[in-house]
Structure 1
Amino acid sequence: MFPITTVIIFLSSLFILPSGADVTGSISPLNPGAVPLAVRSPYLSCWLAQGGGNALNTAWTTMYTGTILGWVGYVKVDGKTFKFLGNDGKVPVDQAVQKNLQITSTQSTFTLTAGSVDLTVNFLSPVEPDNLVNHSFPFSYLAVTATSNDGQSHSVQVYTDISAEWVTGNVSQIVSWSTSAGDMITHQAQLVDQTPFVEVGDRIQYGSVYYATSNTQGTTYQSGEDEVVRSQFVNNTTLLNTQDTQFRAVSDRWPVFGMAHDLGQVSSTSAPVVWSVGHVRDPAVEYIVQGGFQNRSLYFWSQYLNISDAISAFHDDYPPALMRANSFDQQVKRDAQAISNDYADLVALSIRQSFAASEITISKNGDGIFDTSDVLMFLKEISSDGDVSTVDVIFPTWPLYLYTSPALGKYTLLPLFEYQATGQYSNQWSIHDLGDRSYPKAVGHNDGKDEAMPVEECGNMLIMTLSYTQRTGDKSLISTYYSLLDQWAQFLITDSLIPANQLSTDNFARSLTNQTNLAIKGIIGIKAMSEIASLMGDGARSSNYSSIASSYVDQFMGLAMSSDSKHLTLNYGNETSWGLSYNLYADKLLGTNLFPDSLYQTQTSWYSNLVNEFGLPLDTRNTFTLSGWEIWTAAIVKSTSLRDHLIFSVHQYAANGNSDRPFTDWYDTKDGKSILFTARPVVGAHLAFVSYSYQAFL
């Protein structure tokens, strides 16, 4: 075990880079397993593996799957070329030296020195949840600024390219491409053989990748073999404004799509050179409706006639988008730092990753016009199995929506409600997901054979629906789907106090009878229905459900508490067992206060002496945990020192250098090694503290 007092001394000062990390220079606020670069959707997800200390120009950028996304950047200073991005070794150039890296909620900004010039390389993936057009753009920015570091004037040219690897992870697949040059220069690439709504290795098999920049004076472009195009810039400073027309497999002479800007003489700081990169497909999602299936498009299409107009609008918006991003980043940091600096670091690392798993869609009316009143958001269960809109993945993600925009939570719940309201799903409990390993095909489960988590998902839907209604005052969900909500509450009455043998969201830990933490969720779900009924003016139902929930709490305390009254057991009667009772977080989130304060005090005392170096185990069956449940547990304990220790343990895991993948939320609490689950949206759970009135609880 790791004594709390030993850790607290160092909470604000301890930061150790992993072995080999000296090549990266300074990193703030923490050194993650992977740095988010262009992270906007399930299919635009580009990262720099960082855990081992990679600089921006010492490793290939990759998708969250680990497949390479070739992205190369050169800068020429007074005729000498330096590489600042990517790991290309075919063209001999000098290496820029990375000095520092700054990570915020929306940006990753690198500073590198290339001879007499310093480069600021900014990767901005906007987060604008209150603007559905902006938030739904599957595009990200790369901006490069050059600054003279010796007070002298220097000739500077900047080049970047992306490879056809951005289209597919299977380098034997054949790709075609084209380039348009007007006010914008835009490279477009796609698979020759496309299959709508189909993934292979988490890579979508239709749509196009776009790479664009402003066609200003001194800007040139070229597509073709990687070594040929890159050597053209290195040897000649400009590109040929030509297109390779030999469409081929990705690995056949590795086609790349490059663009170069001549900044002229730089004596102070240049204006930023901006590139936009994105992956677009239309339609985006296939969704089951009554009697068939509906094709749905990303929301941004409602504002643009064609992709060229959309790219131009996105690209030209960079200066104000950067200002909005800076404001958002600062507000998130202020709010999170009210808990601790370590907590603020985790929140900054979580927001882009979590949002990038979801897509905001709209349908078309019968006349072909987009219906902006019909907004549905779908979520991909990234890396764990690819399910569509998994309820128990939305649930840990929920604090992100409550904090940034509760409306996004509503849009995420609506596809689940609408489908189940059609009656096509036959079970009396809430559905688990809208498609088994099938994203972006939200085809439902008319056979009722989805992964069964009855108490888990009923409780989740009731809790999320009530919290949305409380936060917004919008009763549309509870009024429209009142009968469904009541149906799920009725099921919880039969199966939550003494849960049958079943899975919870932690299904990798196996099913269990009489799960204590699952009972907590079910009982809170019943109370949530009581509150929903009250909001709907159904006093009799509200009173009945409230009475049942209170009665269940009394019985629960006798069933779930160990005989010495020192802790809750993992499941009833299992005296030597215990687990994280993180579902109590919902009681505080909703303000229902069903469970007595003494229970929180008891659990706090029990946990205080059980923390391993990287946190509390999920339960006594294993030594692993999930980072989201660590933070939820931190949000319900009655000790600020234990709270800070649990946050610190997650922070320490996130920055320990044992992983080179996007935040892996399942890991071992003893050695800090990642187990599985990469780039999942569930890191939205890390926003637990800022999503409700934590200070009032404490």
Structure 2
Amino acid sequence: MLRRLILHFVLFVLVSPILSQNVAPQTFWPAALPLAVRTPYLNAWQPTDNGTTPLDIWPYFWNYANGPLGWAGHIKVDNTTYRWLGGDPGDSTANLTSVQVTLTRTIYYVTAGTMDLRITFLSPIETSGQAEDGNVYYAMSLVSGTTFQTGRDQDIRGSFETNGSLLDTQDTDYRAINDDFPVFAIAVDLGLITTTANPVVWALGYVRNPVIQYTTPTGESQLRYPYWATQYSSISDVINEVLSDFNAALGRATDLDNQVMAATSNISTNYTDIVHLGARQTFAGIDITVSKGTDGAWNMSDVKIFMKNVGTDR
């Protein structure tokens, strides 16, 4: 139950280098593709309606407020760097061959030079538990060949293009995003690939704690906390649980995708497409909360769901 609770608060990005792939052409193109659609404030989309490939466009918050999110993805193949996410100029854009939108995943099928990639944005929907959760947490399991760097975006991307790795250094000049565009980058060197490589997985989480200040029917002001916090003592425990449970979470998500696809396709393929696109939006509009008693302990009998006004609020 613990792992199922927390997975509602995390987005996974899975990049799998594969030697070949045969994918049916995409026939369903919504105006924006869901990437990180998990809570009212972790709600990122990839626009598709300007006539260019989504790989050339920055992801945005759902209502385009405050400009692009600045998320970028690059891969270096045979000494050539290709971009598979974001509108960063200068690199060759990988070729998007197909897109698949399921209940829990958005999958890009991409060719970068001689390498085929399957890029999966996973927001698990667990059928036996609910949780939602600010602070942003960006993490991955430590594997061989991992390097990181924080600093100015052009410097870091230039380092990756030149060396295929990062410098393991930190820029401690903390500043706003519009001041020399500071970024946190993680790179993994997969070495010489002769067979399908193990996937590279990143996790992105956004935590608001407390979630909301609520006025009770008696006029009392009450702080409400994310329900997942009742199950974990620290954010480190959360991150470790999420990353260690990834393979199982992906399996559960795939099973749910298949069940919903089988049920909805009996009606029509158009109905399947709408259900797949709408499911993550539903969960992204709500926060599941719990209160504390006068003794400071969790009041597990007082669980409330709050819905964001998705029409006007930012």
* TM interval, short-chain normalised: 0.7 to 0.9
Residue type at the aligned position of 1:282? N
Identify the residue that residue 13 of structure 2 maps to in structure 1.
Answer: none
Q: CA deviation at 1:54?
A: 3.7
SS in 1 for 2:196: coil
- Report which of the two has the higher share of helix: 1
Distance in 2 (CA, whole Å) between partners of 1:229 and 1:251 is 16
SS in 2 for 1:214: coil
Q: Which of 260-269 and 48-57 deviates more? A: 48-57
Q: CA deviation at 1:300?
A: 0.9
SS in 2 for 1:265: coil
- Matches for 1:135-154 after TM superposition, within 5 Å: 135-136=131-132, 138=133
Distance in 1 (CA, whole Å) between partners of 2:261 and 2:175 is 47
Identify the residue that residue 76 of structure 1 maps to in structure 2.
Answer: 76
Which whole-Å deviations, capped at 9, do the CAs of 1:10-56 have from their partners, x for residues lacking one?
xxxxxxxxxxxxxxx97545110100001001100111001234434
Distance in 1 (CA, whole Å) between partners of 2:299 and 2:238 is 18
Distance in 2 (CA, whole Å) between partners of 1:371 and 1:78 is 57
Identify the residue that residue 310 of structure 1 maps to in structure 2.
Answer: 238
Distance in 2 (CA, whole Å) between partners of 1:285 and 1:257 is 28
Which whole-Å deviations, capped at 9, do the CAs of 1:81-104 have from their partners, x for residues lacking one?
111111101xx3222111110110
Identify the residue that residue 87 of structure 1 maps to in structure 2.
Answer: 87
Q: Does 1:65 pair with 2:55?
A: no
Distance in 1 (CA, whole Å) between partners of 2:112 and 2:63 is 31
Aligned match of 1:368 in 259, 271, 296?
296
The answer (yes or no) to whether the contact 2:289–2:304 under 8 Å persists in 1 is yes
Distance in 2 (CA, whole Å) between partners of 1:226 and 1:345 is 36
Which whole-Å deviations, capped at 9, do the CAs of 1:67-120 have from their partners, x for residues lacking one?
31111111111222111111101xx32221111101101110001111111111
Distance in 2 (CA, whole Å) between partners of 1:48 and 1:326 is 22
Residue type at the aligned position of 2:237? D
Q: Does 1:335 pair with 2:263?
A: yes
Distance in 2 (CA, whole Å) between partners of 1:314 and 1:130 is 17
CA gap 1:338/1:306 in 2 versus in 1, 3 angstroms: same
Aligned match of 2:275 in 335, 339, 347?
347
Identify the residue that residue 14 of structure 2 maps to in structure 1.
Answer: none
Residue type at the aligned position of 1:267? T
Q: Which one has more relative contact order, counting CA pairs under 8 Å at least 6 apart?
A: 2
Residue type at the aligned position of 2:121? F
Alignment coverage as a number of residue pairs: 289
The answer (yes or no) to whether the contact 1:26–1:101 under 8 Å persists in 2 is no
Q: Does 1:221 pair with 2:219?
A: no
Distance in 1 (CA, whole Å) between partners of 2:300 and 2:160 is 45
Identify the residue that residue 49 of structure 2 maps to in structure 1.
Answer: 51
Distance in 1 (CA, whole Å) between partners of 2:52 and 2:255 is 29
- Matches for 1:386-401 after TM superposition, within 5 Å: 386=313
Residue type at the aligned position of 2:84? F
Identify the residue that residue 252 of structure 1 maps to in structure 2.
Answer: 179
The answer (yes or no) to whether the contact 1:27–1:102 under 8 Å persists in 2 is no
SS in 1 for 2:247: helix
- Matches for 1:145-544 after TM superposition, within 5 Å: 207-289=134-216, 290-382=218-310, 384-386=311-313
Q: CA deviation at 1:249?
A: 2.3
Identify the residue that residue 110 of structure 1 maps to in structure 2.
Answer: 108
Which whole-Å deviations, capped at 9, do the CAs of 1:587-625 have from their partners, x for residues lacking one?
xxxxxxxxxxxxxxxxxxxxxxxxxxxxxxxxxxxxxxx
Distance in 1 (CA, whole Å) between partners of 2:102 and 2:158 is 35
Percent identity between matched residues is: 41
Which whole-Å deviations, capped at 9, do the CAs of 1:507-538 have from their partners, x for residues lacking one?
xxxxxxxxxxxxxxxxxxxxxxxxxxxxxxxx
Identify the residue that residue 31 of structure 1 maps to in structure 2.
Answer: 29
Q: CA deviation at 1:129?
A: 4.3
Distance in 2 (CA, whole Å) between partners of 1:385 and 1:61 is 20
Distance in 2 (CA, whole Å) between partners of 1:129 and 1:359 is 17
Identify the residue that residue 8 of structure 2 maps to in structure 1.
Answer: none
Q: CA deviation at 1:385?
A: 2.8
| Coordinate RMSD, CA, aligned | 1.7
SS in 1 for 2:128: coil
- Structure 1 residue runs of 5 or longer lacking an equivalent are 1-24, 139-206, 387-438, 440-698
Residue type at the aligned position of 1:72? A
Distance in 2 (CA, whole Å) between partners of 1:34 and 1:365 is 42
SS in 2 for 1:228: helix
